[in-house]
Amino acid sequence: MHIVAPALILSVRAHGEHGAVVRALTRNHGVQPGYVRGGRSRRLRPVLQPANEMMGEWRARTGEQLAALTVELVESRAALHVEPLAAAALEWVTALTAATLPEAQPYPHLFDALDGVVAAVAAAPSARGWAPALVRYELLLLAELGFGLDLSRCVATGAGEQLHFVSPRSGGAVSRVGAAGYEERLLRLPPFLAVGGPADWPDVFDGLRLTGHFLTRDLLVDRRVDVAAARERLVERLKRAVA
């Protein structure tokens, strides 16, 4: 096995006395793990940071063997890891991707979307500039893994307009008419997810509640409690930032 490709680092785990196992997302080869010799060295520690963009080369004699990985830094996001809110966003979005995507299966749309979210966190002067993109990424991840929400029409009436809610059971949109009398049992569908456009903070938090419900129910179960905790930290920091 021999792969050379640009990639976004998702996770780094110490292995042995000096090495590290790195999992990174490539556009055409999906998530690829690899062993980096000397990955815990002073030279490579700044390179092997989640959300950094790298050029990776994976080599293995068989597909079952953990590949040897050499890395070349393309773009560093290390400075963002000292900013609490940006660091929480990068920690969450990379941990979510690492925990949910199967290895070696290409998800080009997710790669492009994740690259866009990371770039938005790096470029935006405030969280309001990247928070909607993060919610959209979570929605796309659900869809790519087979748990997509149907936001095209009301599951109760069939209407394609005035969609204001989502059923927490079916994941289908519900119109204002269809939701009459049941609003308290439904999740709010913010306009920026239904019809596009900008998002204010109430809309962002409604979006996070919506995607969080389905991520927790369908993807972040049992062994991924620590990943869910990263999302809770992000939401709490967002709430403090806008208070």
Q: What local confidence, expressed as pLDDT, does residue 124 receive?
A: 85
| Per-residue pLDDT reduced to its tens digit, 144-191 | 999 999 999 999 999 989 999 999 999 999 999 999 999 999 999 999
Q: What local confidence, expressed as pLDDT, does residue 222 receive?
A: 73
What are the boundaries of each domain within the chain? 2-77, 80-242
Q: What local confidence, expressed as pLDDT, does residue 10 receive?
A: 98
How would CATH label the architecture of 2-77? Beta Barrel (2.40)
Same CATH fold assignment for domains 2-77 and 80-242: no
**Residue 91 · residue 50 · CB < 8 Å:** yes
Average pLDDT over residues 22-42: 96
Q: In the numeric block, which tokens belong to residue 227?
A: 């990943």
Pinpoint the alpha helices (H) of the chain.
84-100, 108-123, 131-144, 191-194, 201-218, 225-242
The length of the chain is 243
Q: What local confidence, expressed as pLDDT, does residue 63 receive?
A: 75
Task: Categorize the per-residue pLDDT at 21 as very low, low, confident or very high, splitting at 50, 70 and 90.
Answer: very high
Q: Which of helix, strand or coil describes residue 226? A: helix
Please give the order of strands across the beta sheet that includes 187-188.
150-154, 172-175, 163-166, 187-188
- The domain covering 80-242 belongs, at the CATH homologous superfamily level, to Recombination protein O, C-terminal domain (1.20.1440.120)
What are φ and ψ of residue 31, in 5° steps?
A: -75, 125
| Per-residue pLDDT reduced to its tens digit, 43-76 | 999 999 999 999 999 999 987 899 999 999 999 9
Within 13 Å of residue 162, how many CA atoms lie on the same side as its CB? 10
| Per-residue pLDDT reduced to its tens digit, 219-232 | 998 756 688 899 99
Tell which residue, 93, 128, 123, has the closest CA to residue 111. Answer: 93
| Per-residue pLDDT reduced to its tens digit, 181-218 | 999 999 999 999 999 998 999 999 999 999 999 999 99
Q: Which of helix, strand or coil describes residue 223? A: helix
